[in-house]
Amino acid sequence: MVTPNSEIEVDRDKGNFRYTESHKYDAGIGLDEKVIDYICDAKGEPDWIRDFRKRALKVFESKPLPTNWATKDLEVIDFDKIRYYLAGEKRASKSWDDVPDDVKQTFERLGIPENERKFLAGVEAQFDSEAAYSNIKESVGKQGVIFMGSTEALIEHPEIFKKWFGKVIPTGDNKFSALNSAAFSGGSFIYVPPGVKVSHPLQAYFRINAENFGQFERTLIIADEGSEVTYMEGCTAPKFDTATLHSAVVELVAMKGAKIEYVTVQNWASNVFNLVTKRAIAHEDATVKWIDCNIGSRLTMKYPGVVLKGKRARGEVLSIALANDGQHQDTGAKMIHAADETTSNIISKSISVGQGRSTYRGQVHMPKNLRGCKNNTECDALLINDNSRTDTYPAITVRGDRNAVQHEASVSKVSAEQIFYMQQRGLSEGEAMSLSVNGFVNDLTRQFPMEYSVELKRLIELEMEGSVG
């Protein structure tokens, strides 16, 4: 049963708090080979990771910033003033009692222990560069499921980790995947054995606490043949006057007949540059579903993708983006069809408030040698004010005559008559606006896990406050 909105405590500034920094490991400011050596030594990493990082650093330094979009926004990032590694302990605690008090207070304030007790099969909580807490329910662990931080996984399970690490998203994919490859720390590693269906979600929560900091988590999820798993992540950071950088890499591998659902709800502060690369490989009869919600940040550039490698593989991206004053949500999806009878579905909803800007940027590719492939792309944008902006850039390449593609896009504005009508039924102007916006995204929010769906609607309500008039 869904809890009524009036009983849910969701604060617009829920994540806007911080505690005094207390780090055992601090690599200093800027990124060079000495910093990489510091990170490797602090984490006790093998030589192949050290070499991997240093090669990635050279790629990062050689690649220019993207020049085709968002360049002016990115130019304000000073990579020489970012702190790339801050950590208390290298190993995550498996009991809340063992988590340092300031970190524990942070996650208790965000409701993580309560959520774990209520509906999760496992939780990982990352604080700045490393996971502070990681735990999986005993019943799930007995099924052979591995759920831990990437730091532990590359040491404890190198045979699985090394096989897939950097294979879905190579270092040279883009400037920010190279940056992550050089400085990555934290993130989740999940392996689900053949035939195992994890009945409850696994969740990670990523928290930035420090100023002038870059968080570079690296997540790798492998669902073996016929297995199923749902993974959810949430992200927050306090608001600072200086830029904060979040540049993650997420790699998913769905083997034959496997299913992966990856849910993201990000509510970043308005000084965060959220530059993320997410991609999956779906083998024969596999399904990968990205559910992506972006609220907050100064600039988000994120385009979850699926490489449909096996016959009858299916990929889906459902995304919601809300851009308020001073924010640019540049989001979308990529679907690369590489086998016959593959299917992809992209549904994007964006809301632009005040002088906020939302952009859909997508790519669908079907080579001429394939047959029986299908794609559906829907991009719907809602403008709240006269100064808000939305753009759609679909790049759909279909060769041959044995595949089917359809694309639909719409832009609408909240009707003054509709708002007036609802006001006559006793709603305030703000309540009427919130009802209209939630109606606009309702068909997507119903596909979110219940706990996230209710909170997402409440967050939208809070974002709508003050947007009218």
| Confidence check: pLDDT of 5 > 60 | no
| Confidence check: pLDDT of 255 > 90 | yes
pLDDT band of 284, cuts 50, 70, 90: very high
Cα separations in angstroms, 87 against 26, 83, 151, 345: 7, 11, 12, 40
Residue 123: per-residue pLDDT: 63
Q: Pick the most confident of 62-76, 228-242, 329-343, 378-392.
A: 329-343
Neighbours of 138 (CB within 10 A): 7
Is 1 contained in some domain? no
Higher pLDDT, 216 or 66: 216
**pLDDT tens-place string over residues 353-412:** 888 999 999 999 999 999 999 999 999 999 988 888 999 999 999 998 899 999 999 998
Beta bridge partner(s), residue 274 = 246, 300
Q: Among the listed ranges 20-24, 28-32, 71-75, 249-253, which one has the minimum average pLDDT value?
A: 20-24
Residue 10: per-residue pLDDT: 34
Tokens 């993974």 found at? 231
Is 150 contained in some domain? yes
Last residue of a domain, one of 266, 283, 302: 302
Q: Among the listed ranges 74-78, 124-128, 347-351, 396-400, which one has the minimum average pLDDT value?
A: 124-128
Is 351 contained in some domain? no
Q: Pick the most confident of 40-49, 89-98, 265-274.
A: 40-49
Residue 304: per-residue pLDDT: 97
Is 365 contained in some domain? no
Q: Measured between alpha carbons, how far is 104 from 132 in angstroms, rounded to an integer?
A: 9
User: What is the domain extent for residue 447?
Assistant: 415-469
The whole-chain average pLDDT of the chain stands at: 83
pLDDT band of 433, cuts 50, 70, 90: confident
| Confidence check: pLDDT of 237 > 60 | yes
Strands 188-192, 146-149: parallel, antiparallel or unpaired by DSSP?
antiparallel
- The percent of residues in the chain predicted with pLDDT above 90, rounded, is 50
Q: How many domains does the chain have?
A: 2
Is 43 contained in some domain? yes
Last residue of a domain, one of 246, 280, 302: 302
**pLDDT tens-place string over residues 108-145:** 554 544 554 444 455 666 666 775 655 666 778 889 99
For 162-216, list the strands marked E by DSSP.
188-192, 202-207, 214-215
Residue 98: per-residue pLDDT: 55
DSSP state of 23: -
Q: Domain check: are 298 and 419 in the same one?
A: no
- Local structure of 363: helix, strand or coil: strand
Is 446 contained in some domain? yes
Higher pLDDT, 201 or 22: 201
Contacts of 237 by beta carbon, 8 Å cutoff, 6+ apart: 15, 207, 208, 209, 244, 246, 268, 269, 272
Is 250 contained in some domain? yes
Is 16 contained in some domain? yes
Q: Among the listed ranges 31-45, 146-160, 437-451, which one has the minimum average pLDDT value?
A: 437-451
Last residue of a domain, one of 250, 273, 302: 302
Residue 120: per-residue pLDDT: 46
Q: Measured between alpha carbons, how far is 161 from 221 in angstroms, rounded to an integer?
A: 10
Residue 78: per-residue pLDDT: 92
Token pair belonging to 412: 């609408």
| Confidence check: pLDDT of 70 > 80 | no
Residue 430: per-residue pLDDT: 76
| Confidence check: pLDDT of 9 > 50 | no
